[in-house]
Amino acid sequence: MIEALGLWAMHRIDPETGHGLALKALNAGLVPLPGTVTSPRLRTRVAGLQLPNPVGLAAGFDKNAVALRPLARAGFGFVEVGAATPRPQPGNPRPRLFRLTEDRAVINRFGFNNDGAQAIAARLAQRPDGPVVGLNLGANKDSADRAADFAQVLRTCGPHVDFVTVNVSSPNTEKLRDLQGPAALSALLAGVMQARADLERHIPVFLKIAPDLDAEGLEGIAEVARGSGLDAIIATNTTLGREGLVSRDRAQAGGLSGAPLFEKSTRVLARLSRLTDGRLPLIGVGGIDSAEAAYAKIRAGASAVQLYSALVYHGFSLVAEIARGLETLLARDGFATVADAVGTGRDAWL
């Protein structure tokens, strides 16, 4: 009832204001949280990371790492914060966040608004023990060398996180997606890998890709992944597509996330799983709002999943609901672990 009332109130104010209030409510202890959700069947290993369950929080919800303590108790198997850029930046003008309630979707054009790597690193240094925490790496909009920005954020924040994600797939920073091309991406990742080598400990490096890549683009990503030392790929970020939407704000500029992204992102995930022969861990993102949707991602090739937009419509109780539902679905189909189910339904999406 508390959660239902909170969601009702949030949906009657500006979406970005509501997002800020949600973070404050978490920190104030006003959101019921289940604690860690795990079991022998749900525990899994991804890119060397031991996860209590495969359900993660996608980047964007806690951009500035201000709510790590409550998020550690929210039922997630891992949490990704950010994106962080070397210097603070305000992002794009407001309004820049839109609820598409009829479509169970969200459009955002934030533009990497964040407090900057130094401030975020200071908060990450005080993170609670236990949960697996990653950081999404971004580039400043006015940077003369965006590729170098990713390595700079890694050097600043890397000592305090368990993994990092190279985000060259946000549609809200002009020409950022150009860095997904094979030559540019290889050069960028070489700089990131050198920055990682300079750290005192090894942390996995993930790459987050767009759902709008064509077959040639996906093949290029797979080829770069094989030669760069990437530890995993996150598929996918938001889309520029607007097919089938009915909500009033459907034509707003920005990246679309939520339920309408599910099919497109899952097809990209399955194709990437085939291109990499299942040898590279994949994390499925896009339109996950139920245990069944999370299970479909896993069977399409994902070793773990992330969600964010569904929280806008279902609240944080959804996290434990999905994790416990996954346990039931895995048991129903005779899978002893999450890893046993990965890729078993991939052909249905090809």
Q: What's the mean pLDDT in 293-298?
A: 98
Confidence of residue 172 (pLDDT cuts 50, 70, 90): low
**Strand intervals (E) in the chain:** 44-46, 49-51, 55-57, 78-84, 97-100, 105-108, 132-137, 163-167, 205-209, 232-235, 255-258, 282-285, 304-307
Q: Which two tokens stand for residue 115?
A: 């407090």
Q: Which domains does the chain have, with CATH numbers?
A: 35-349 (3.20.20.70)
pLDDT at residue 304 is higher than 70: yes
The whole-chain average pLDDT of the chain stands at 95
Pairing of strands 44-46, 49-51: antiparallel
pLDDT of residue 155: 98
* Contact call for residues 209 and 234 (beta carbons, < 8 A): yes
Q: Is the dihedral of CA 220, 208, 293, 9 positive or negative?
A: negative
What gap in Å lies between CA 174 and CA 313, rounded to an integer?
29
Confidence of residue 163 (pLDDT cuts 50, 70, 90): very high
Which residue is catalytic, options 39, 143, 170, 303?
170
What gap in Å lies between CA 28 and CA 22, rounded to an integer?
10
Q: Which amino acid is at 286?
A: G
Confidence of residue 4 (pLDDT cuts 50, 70, 90): confident
Q: Is the dihedral of CA 245, 347, 325, 210 positive or negative?
A: negative
Pairing of strands 105-108, 255-258: antiparallel
What gap in Å lies between CA 319 and CA 214, rounded to an integer?
32
pLDDT at residue 177 is higher than 80: no
Q: Which two tokens stand for residue 87?
A: 């210097």
pTM over 0.95: yes
Q: Is 170 a catalytic residue?
A: yes
Q: Which DSSP letter does residue 159 get?
A: G
Condensed to tens digits (0 to 9), the pLDDT of residues 242-290 reads 999 999 999 999 999 999 999 999 999 999 999 999 899 999 999 999 9
Confidence of residue 170 (pLDDT cuts 50, 70, 90): confident
Q: Which two tokens stand for residue 44?
A: 């899994």
pLDDT at residue 229 is higher than 90: yes
pLDDT of residue 266: 98
pLDDT of residue 169: 74
pLDDT at residue 130 is higher than 70: yes
pLDDT of residue 6: 83
Helix, strand, coil: what percent of the chain each, to 5? 40, 15, 40
pLDDT of residue 174: 66
Q: What's the mean pLDDT in 7-27?
A: 94
